[in-house]
Amino acid sequence: MTNEATFKNLYIKVTNVYIDNPPWSKTTGGFHYTIQLTNNITKHSMVADYYGSFNDYKNGKSELTNDELIEAAHMIIQDALCARDYTLEQFLEEFGYLESGQTALNGIKTYHQCKQLYDDLMKIFTQEELDKLTEELNDWENEDS
Protein backbone atom coordinates (compact mmCIF):
# COMPACT_ATOMS: atom_id res chain seq x y z
CA MET A 1 0.00 0.00 0.00
CA THR A 2 1.08 3.52 -0.65
CA ASN A 3 0.08 7.08 0.08
CA GLU A 4 1.18 8.43 -3.28
CA ALA A 5 0.56 7.58 -6.91
CA THR A 6 1.19 8.90 -10.40
CA PHE A 7 -1.25 8.84 -13.29
CA LYS A 8 -0.07 10.34 -16.60
CA ASN A 9 0.95 13.93 -15.73
CA LEU A 10 -0.81 13.87 -12.33
CA TYR A 11 0.97 13.17 -9.04
CA ILE A 12 -1.37 12.29 -6.15
CA LYS A 13 -0.32 12.27 -2.52
CA VAL A 14 -2.10 11.95 0.83
CA THR A 15 -0.76 14.75 3.01
CA ASN A 16 -2.99 14.13 6.05
CA VAL A 17 -5.51 11.60 7.31
CA TYR A 18 -7.65 11.83 10.40
CA ILE A 19 -10.93 10.54 11.77
CA ASP A 20 -13.87 12.82 11.16
CA ASN A 21 -17.60 12.76 10.46
CA PRO A 22 -18.32 13.35 6.78
CA PRO A 23 -20.33 16.57 6.28
CA TRP A 24 -23.31 14.59 5.02
CA SER A 25 -23.43 12.31 8.10
CA LYS A 26 -23.64 13.40 11.72
CA THR A 27 -23.50 9.88 13.16
CA THR A 28 -20.82 7.90 11.34
CA GLY A 29 -17.09 8.40 11.52
CA GLY A 30 -14.67 7.95 8.69
CA PHE A 31 -11.19 8.62 7.42
CA HIS A 32 -10.87 12.17 6.11
CA TYR A 33 -7.94 12.58 3.74
CA THR A 34 -6.22 15.72 2.54
CA ILE A 35 -5.03 14.88 -0.95
CA GLN A 36 -2.51 16.91 -2.90
CA LEU A 37 -2.83 16.92 -6.69
CA THR A 38 0.24 18.10 -8.61
CA ASN A 39 0.77 18.73 -12.31
CA ASN A 40 4.01 16.83 -12.97
CA ILE A 41 4.94 19.18 -15.81
CA THR A 42 4.49 22.58 -14.16
CA LYS A 43 4.80 21.36 -10.53
CA HIS A 44 1.77 23.48 -9.60
CA SER A 45 -0.38 21.79 -6.96
CA MET A 46 -3.60 22.04 -4.98
CA VAL A 47 -5.17 20.20 -2.06
CA ALA A 48 -8.65 18.74 -1.71
CA ASP A 49 -10.64 16.86 0.91
CA TYR A 50 -11.61 13.25 0.30
CA TYR A 51 -13.56 10.88 2.53
CA GLY A 52 -12.90 7.13 2.45
CA SER A 53 -15.60 4.52 2.71
CA PHE A 54 -17.32 3.74 5.99
CA ASN A 55 -16.44 0.08 5.44
CA ASP A 56 -12.71 0.92 5.32
CA TYR A 57 -13.11 2.98 8.50
CA LYS A 58 -14.96 0.15 10.24
CA ASN A 59 -12.16 -2.27 9.26
CA GLY A 60 -9.36 0.14 10.27
CA LYS A 61 -8.02 0.50 6.70
CA SER A 62 -6.64 4.04 6.54
CA GLU A 63 -4.06 3.76 3.76
CA LEU A 64 -5.17 4.01 0.14
CA THR A 65 -3.79 1.77 -2.57
CA ASN A 66 -2.38 3.17 -5.80
CA ASP A 67 -5.67 2.50 -7.61
CA GLU A 68 -7.72 4.01 -4.76
CA LEU A 69 -5.63 7.20 -4.91
CA ILE A 70 -6.18 7.47 -8.65
CA GLU A 71 -9.90 6.87 -8.11
CA ALA A 72 -9.95 9.56 -5.39
CA ALA A 73 -8.31 12.05 -7.76
CA HIS A 74 -10.83 11.11 -10.44
CA MET A 75 -13.73 11.74 -8.04
CA ILE A 76 -12.28 15.11 -7.03
CA ILE A 77 -11.98 16.11 -10.69
CA GLN A 78 -15.50 14.87 -11.48
CA ASP A 79 -16.89 16.91 -8.57
CA ALA A 80 -15.06 19.99 -9.86
CA LEU A 81 -16.40 19.51 -13.37
CA CYS A 82 -19.98 19.67 -12.04
CA ALA A 83 -19.40 23.38 -11.39
CA ARG A 84 -18.21 23.82 -14.96
CA ASP A 85 -20.93 21.75 -16.60
CA TYR A 86 -23.97 22.88 -14.58
CA THR A 87 -25.42 26.21 -13.52
CA LEU A 88 -26.37 26.38 -9.84
CA GLU A 89 -30.04 25.78 -10.71
CA GLN A 90 -29.20 22.79 -12.91
CA PHE A 91 -26.91 21.37 -10.22
CA LEU A 92 -29.62 21.60 -7.53
CA GLU A 93 -32.14 19.90 -9.79
CA GLU A 94 -29.79 17.22 -11.19
CA PHE A 95 -28.50 16.11 -7.79
CA GLY A 96 -31.81 16.24 -5.90
CA TYR A 97 -31.24 19.28 -3.73
CA LEU A 98 -34.70 20.81 -4.24
CA GLU A 99 -36.62 18.71 -1.69
CA SER A 100 -36.64 21.35 1.06
CA GLY A 101 -35.14 24.69 1.99
CA GLN A 102 -32.41 23.08 4.12
CA THR A 103 -31.60 20.60 1.37
CA ALA A 104 -31.33 23.45 -1.13
CA LEU A 105 -28.97 25.32 1.20
CA ASN A 106 -26.79 22.20 1.44
CA GLY A 107 -26.84 21.97 -2.34
CA ILE A 108 -25.77 25.57 -2.75
CA LYS A 109 -22.87 24.98 -0.35
CA THR A 110 -21.88 21.81 -2.21
CA TYR A 111 -22.03 23.61 -5.57
CA HIS A 112 -19.73 26.35 -4.30
CA GLN A 113 -17.30 23.72 -2.97
CA CYS A 114 -17.26 22.11 -6.43
CA LYS A 115 -16.69 25.54 -7.97
CA GLN A 116 -13.71 26.11 -5.66
CA LEU A 117 -12.28 22.72 -6.67
CA TYR A 118 -12.68 23.67 -10.32
CA ASP A 119 -11.01 27.06 -9.78
CA ASP A 120 -8.13 25.32 -7.97
CA LEU A 121 -7.74 22.78 -10.79
CA MET A 122 -7.63 25.61 -13.33
CA LYS A 123 -4.62 27.00 -11.45
CA ILE A 124 -2.63 23.82 -12.06
CA PHE A 125 -3.98 22.65 -15.44
CA THR A 126 -5.11 24.32 -18.63
CA GLN A 127 -8.64 23.43 -19.75
CA GLU A 128 -7.14 21.28 -22.52
CA GLU A 129 -4.91 19.41 -20.06
CA LEU A 130 -7.82 18.88 -17.67
CA ASP A 131 -10.08 17.59 -20.45
CA LYS A 132 -7.37 15.16 -21.63
CA LEU A 133 -6.69 13.98 -18.08
CA THR A 134 -10.42 13.49 -17.46
CA GLU A 135 -10.72 11.42 -20.65
CA GLU A 136 -7.72 9.30 -19.63
CA LEU A 137 -9.14 8.78 -16.14
CA ASN A 138 -12.52 7.79 -17.60
CA ASP A 139 -10.76 5.28 -19.89
CA TRP A 140 -8.73 3.94 -16.95
CA GLU A 141 -11.87 3.50 -14.84
CA ASN A 142 -13.68 1.73 -17.69
CA GLU A 143 -10.72 -0.63 -18.19
CA ASP A 144 -10.62 -1.35 -14.46
CA SER A 145 -14.34 -2.21 -14.28
Q: Identify the weakest region by mean pLDDT among 72-76, 86-90, 99-103.
A: 99-103
How far is Cα 121 from Cα 86, in angstroms, rounded to an integer?
Answer: 17
What are the pLDDT digits (tens) for 20-62?
776 666 666 788 899 999 999 999 999 999 988 888 888 888 8
DSSP the chain: --SEEEETTEEEEEEEEEEE--TT-SS--EEEEEEEEEETTT--EEEEEEE--HHHHHTT--SPPHHHHHHHHHHHHHHHHHHHHS-HHHHHHHTT--SSHHHHHHHHHHHHHHHHHHHHHHHHS-HHHHHHHHHHHHHHHHHH-
| Average confidence (pLDDT) over 65-72 | 94
What are the pLDDT digits (tens) for 26-36?
666 788 899 99
How far is Cα 19 from Cα 74, in angstroms, rounded to an integer?
Answer: 22
* Global confidence as pTM: 0.89
Nearest to 114 by CA among 90, 80, 88, 143: 80
| Average confidence (pLDDT) over 96-108 | 89
The pLDDT value given to residue 62 = 87
